[in-house]
């Protein structure tokens, strides 16, 4: 059985090869560089001589015939006896889609059927060098609801539903049609067929979904093969009818009128069909269990991909279906088609999901937005003003660097709304007010600290502002000179503040100011070490508070030591 299939395959391949092997494609001898006018181009001497040899007038009628599967366009021309003979055969550079008719706009299918081409369908100003409009949709297409526009035979070798030739081929085809119109031809018949409708080819495509449509076209193909004259075309009941005689009228969508086939044609068709039926039976035996796999456009392009190397991007030739297709066992083809259907369904599902995702996220409605991070709580720090700017002479001759006089602020930890803060600010005592002793100031500081156990406090003692050169020269060296009555010469105040009462928390803020003049520090007070010890004892009641005690006193020097440090 397997050997039988192999023999059948070999026989079919040889048969298919024989369809085109005896009809070599014509080489177009057109040099576009020498073409000054596309419309007025004159046919070459070679083709004119061939027409003369075949008894064809230069302006005699022509007919165009296309076979998709082979990728061939034929030009047939009437001879002296009004019989048509094939004058030219061109290889179609590109056609899109697969075998089968065009049904709707955008399906990438090239038309199949019988189309009349009038002079007005010639386009010398095409973007694809030259073009001939096929006339799709014709009356049959319109009756069957098929639609599409601008289905052409054109140059540029790039197709999307058209039959595309090379520019050289189109130049010659255009000139042949132009001369036929000049000779009085009203319309050029275009026969766009899927393949040569022989018994073998019809048997090979017997399982195609388009087989009924092709069986309808076959009588027109057969009658041209018999008579070598373009058949007369009419449409009724949404079907093609060929060479029918009638006294009625044909309506594309209406019932067919009473009609008959001429007697001579009937006799010729009877003999033709008898031979056809015999050949079909033989072909079916050869194809037992085998079917034809029809390739896609992409598969046809793949076999001629090398032809695109070095060419323009728009140059897109397609191979023939005969080269890209193959005979397969019925079971194998069914499995392959099932896998293809699954892939198509998966592809459609992905496209649907992608479309839904784009729809839902088009305005950012479904895009998750991250929540805002909580901001850190503000950190309150006690600020300490720098000592007053010194005068020119005081800054020039004062002892030590300015960095020694600066007070560093203490870092404060974050506090919440229930906590209280204390800031140290410098202020002078009012005139006439008796400065308080450091011991009293320390006692008040301890009381304030107990009232606010979680408050953050910073106690800073500022050193007296440095005097200028002349001030140190004539001042007494003894600390006794700093009397309490020199109220205007006070250098620093110690202030402990508590925030005012807030309605939200109910906290009570208090403010206590402790001022000490240089004289009071010298006469009544303890030594710096003792004052610091008392301040430390006073703040032990506030374990959560941060305390900073900064104290700086200028060193004493003899009045006569002016320049040393």
- Output the DSSP codes for 342-364: HHHHHHHHHHHHHHHHHHHTTTS
With CA atoms as reference, report the closest residue to 233 among 191, 181, 176.
191
The Cα–Cα gap between 509 and 137 comes to 95
What's the rounded Cα separation, in Å, for the pair 435 and 531?
A: 16
Phi, psi of 233 (to 5 degrees): -105, 135
Please give the structure tokens belonging to residue 408.
């560093």
* Judgement on whether residues 332 and 425 belong to the same structural domain of the protein: no
Whether residue 313 is found in the same domain as residue 166 = yes
Task: Count Cα atoms within 13 angstroms, Cβ side, for 48.
Answer: 8
Of the candidates 405, 461, 441, 446, the one whose C-alpha atom is nearest the C-alpha of residue 545 is 446
Same domain, 158 and 306: yes
In a domain, 401, yes or no: no
Q: Which position has the token pair 């067929």?
A: 193
d(CA 253, CA 290): 38
Answer yes or no: do 427 and 334 share one domain: no
Tokens, residue 196: 């040569």
At 13 the three-state DSSP class reads helix
Adjacent-strand bridge partners of 497: 511
- Locus of tokens 């440095």: 466
To 5 degrees, how large is the angle CA 385–CA 391–CA 394? 105
Together in a domain, 304 and 443: no
CB contact at 8 A, 66 and 72: yes
DSSP state of 479: G
196 and 72, same structural domain?
A: yes
Going by C-alpha positions, the residue among 58, 56, 59 that lies closest to residue 78 is 56
Domain boundary among 285, 305, 339: 339
Q: Is 339 helix (H, G, I), strand (E, B) or coil?
A: helix
Q: Is 6 helix (H, G, I), strand (E, B) or coil?
A: helix
Contact 491, 482 (CB under 8 A): no
- Residue 389 in any domain: the answer is no
Same domain, 322 and 424: no
Active site residue 5: no
Q: What are the backbone angles phi and psi of residue 350, rounded to the nearest 5°? A: -65, -40
Minimal CA–CA distance to 116: which of 263, 281, 233? Answer: 233
Residue 154 bears catalytic tag: yes
Residue 497 lies in a domain: yes
In a domain, 350, yes or no: no
pLDDT tens series, the chain, 565 aa: 333 443 344 444 434 433 333 345 778 889 999 999 999 999 999 999 999 999 999 999 999 999 999 999 999 999 999 999 999 999 999 999 999 999 999 999 999 999 999 999 999 999 999 999 999 999 999 999 999 999 999 999 987 779 999 999 999 999 999 999 999 999 999 999 999 999 999 999 999 999 999 999 999 999 999 999 999 999 999 999 999 999 999 999 999 999 999 999 999 999 999 999 999 999 999 999 899 999 999 999 999 887 777 777 677 889 999 999 999 998 888 888 888 888 888 888 898 888 888 877 776 655 555 666 656 665 555 444 444 455 555 555 555 444 444 444 444 444 444 444 443 344 444 444 444 554 454 445 445 444 444 434 433 444 444 455 554 545 554 444 444 443 444 444 433 344 444 444 443 344 433 344 444 334 444 444 454 445 444 444 444 444 444 445 555 565 555 555 4
State the DSSP H helix or E strand holding residue 497, giving kind and residue range, or none if neither.
Answer: strand 492-497
* CA 154 – CA 528 distance, rounded (Å): 109
Asked whether residue 478 is domain-assigned, the answer is yes
Backbone φ/ψ region at 365: left (φ over 0), alpha (ψ -120 to 50), beta = alpha
**Nearest C-alpha neighbor of 332 from the set 4, 3, 5:** 5
Domain-located, residue 378 = no
- Domain final position from 313, 339, 365: 339
Cβ-based neighbour number of residue 545 at 10 Å: 19
Pairing of strands 259-260, 245-246: antiparallel
CA distance 471 to 468: 5
Q: Where are the beta strands (DSSP E) in 57-147?
A: 62-67, 72-78, 84-91, 94-95, 113-117, 122-123, 131-133
In a domain, 405, yes or no: no
Same domain, yes or no: 99 and 226: yes
Residue 140 within any structural domain of the chain: yes
Q: 533 exposed, middle or buried (CB, 10 Å; 0-12, 13-18, 19+)?
A: middle
Q: Are 198 and 218 in contact (CB under 8 A)?
A: no
Helix (H, G, I), strand (E, B) or coil at 91: strand
Residues in the chain: 565
Chain centroid offset of residue 427 CA: 71
Token pair, residue 71, equals 């990728």
Res 322: pLDDT = 92
- Specify the DSSP element, H or E, that contains 424: none
Neighbours of 269 (CB within 10 A): 18
Judged by DSSP in three states, 110 sits in coil
Shared domain for 44 and 147, answered yes or no, is yes
- In the set 19, 93, 154, 205, the catalytic residue is 154
CA distances from 432 to 64, 106, 422, 479, 517 (A): 127, 104, 27, 22, 13
Separation CA 16–CA 332 (nearest Å) = 22
Pair type for strands 62-67 and 188-193: parallel
From 93, 157, 162, 236, the catalytic residue = 162
At 298, list the tokens.
């992409």
Q: How far apart are CA 148 and CA 172, in angstroms?
A: 27
| 425 plus 525 within the same structural domain | yes
The domain boundary residue, chosen from 294, 320, 339:
339
Domain range spanning residue 483?
420-466+473-550
Domain count across the chain: 2
């Amino acid at each position: 059985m397997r050997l039988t299939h192999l023999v059948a395959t070999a026989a079919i391949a040889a048969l298919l090869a024989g369809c085109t092997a005896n009809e070599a494609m014509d080489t177009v001898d057109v040099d576009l560089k020498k073409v000054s006018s596309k419309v007025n181009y004159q046919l070459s001497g070679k083709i004119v001589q061939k027409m003369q040899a075949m008894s064809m007038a230069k302006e005699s009628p022509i007919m165009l015939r296309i076979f998709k599967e082979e990728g061939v366009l034929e030009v047939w021309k009437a001879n002296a006896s009004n019989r048509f003979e094939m004058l030219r055969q061109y290889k179609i550079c590109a056609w899109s889609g697969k075998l089968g008719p065009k049904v709707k706009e955008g399906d990438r299918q090239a038309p199949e059927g019988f189309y009349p081409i009038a002079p007005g369908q010639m386009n010398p100003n095409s973007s694809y060098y030259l073009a001939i409009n096929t006339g799709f949709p014709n009356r049959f297409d319109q009756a069957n609801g098929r639609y599409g526009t601008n289905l052409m035979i054109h140059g540029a070798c790039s197709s999307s539903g058209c039959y595309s030739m090379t520019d050289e081929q189109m130049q010659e085809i255009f000139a042949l049609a132009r001369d036929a119109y000049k000779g009085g031809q009203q319309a050029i018949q275009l026969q766009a067929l899927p393949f040569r409708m022989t018994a073998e080819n019809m048997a090979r495509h017997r399982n195609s979904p388009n087989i009924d449509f092709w069986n309808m076209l076959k009588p027109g193909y057969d009658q041209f093969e018999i008579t070598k004259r373009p058949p007369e075309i009419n449409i009724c009941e949404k079907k093609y009818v060929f060479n029918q005689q009638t006294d009625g009228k044909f309506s594309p969508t209406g019932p067919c009128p009473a009609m008959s086939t001429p007697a001579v044609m009937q006799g010729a068709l009877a003999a033709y069909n008898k031979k056809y039926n015999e050949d079909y039976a033989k072909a079916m035996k050869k194809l037992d269990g085998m079917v034809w796999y029809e390739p896609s456009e992409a598969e046809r392009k793949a076999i001629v991909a090398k032809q695109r190397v070095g060419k323009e991007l728009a140059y897109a030739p397609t191979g023939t279906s005969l080269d890209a297709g193959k005979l397969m066992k019925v079971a194998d083809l069914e499995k392959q088609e099932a896998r293809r259907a699954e892939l198509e369904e998966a592809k459609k599902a992905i496209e649907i999901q992608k479309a839904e995702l784009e729809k839902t996220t088009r305005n950012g409605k479904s895009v998750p937005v991250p929540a805002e991070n909580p901001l850190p709580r503000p950190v309150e720090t006690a600020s300490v003003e720098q000592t007053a700017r010194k005068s020119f002479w005081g800054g020039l001759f004062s002892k030590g660097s300015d960095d020694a006089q600066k007070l560093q602020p203490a870092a404060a930890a974050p506090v919440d709304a229930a906590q209280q803060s204390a800031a140290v600010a410098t202020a002078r005592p009012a005139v006439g007010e008796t400065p308080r002793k450091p011991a009293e100031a320390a006692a008040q500081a301890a009381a304030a600290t107990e009232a606010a156990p979680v408050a953050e406090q910073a106690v800073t003692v500022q050193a007296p502002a440095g005097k200028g050169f002349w001030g140190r020269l004539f001042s007494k060296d003894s600390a006794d000179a700093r009397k309490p009555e020199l109220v205007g010469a006070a250098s620093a105040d110690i202030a402990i503040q508590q925030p005012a009462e807030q309605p939200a928390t109910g906290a009570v803020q208090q403010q206590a100011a402790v001022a000490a003049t240089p004289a009071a520090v010298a006469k009544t007070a303890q030594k710096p070490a003792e004052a610091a010890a008392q301040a430390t004892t006073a703040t032990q009641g506030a374990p959560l508070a941060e305390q900073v005690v900064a104290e700086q006193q200028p060193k004493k020097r003899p009045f006569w030591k002016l320049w040393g440090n």
